[in-house]
Amino acid sequence: MEDLTHLTRRQVEVARLATSGLTNQQIAERLHTSKRTVDNHLHAIYGVLGVTGRDELRTVLGPA
């Protein structure tokens, strides 16, 4: 598992929800935020972890 210390708690939460199979809209609804905010979190997460999408994110984070 990747060291997640460079991510905020909210980014870790978004990353876990994304790897569990939820869409960005579903994540936004669950976290009571906008889809755009989730999009921005995922973009930042991908940059910090050096991945390009959910499949790589799932590989880095391990099982949800």
Of residues 2 and 62, the one with the higher pLDDT is: 62
- The pLDDT tens digits for 16-45 are 999 999 999 999 999 999 999 999 999 999
CATH code assigned at 24? 1.10.10.10
Whether residue 1 is contained in a domain is answered as: no
Is pTM beyond 0.75? Reply is: yes
The pLDDT of residue 3 is 65
Whether residue 2 is contained in a domain is answered as: no
Q: Helix-strand-coil percent breakdown of the chain, rounded to 5?
A: 65, 0, 35
Whether residue 4 is contained in a domain is answered as: no
- 17 is written with which tokens? 């929800």
| Single-letter code of the amino acid located at 57 | L
Number of domains in the chain: 1
Cα-based angle 45, 34, 15 (whole degrees, multiple of 5):
25
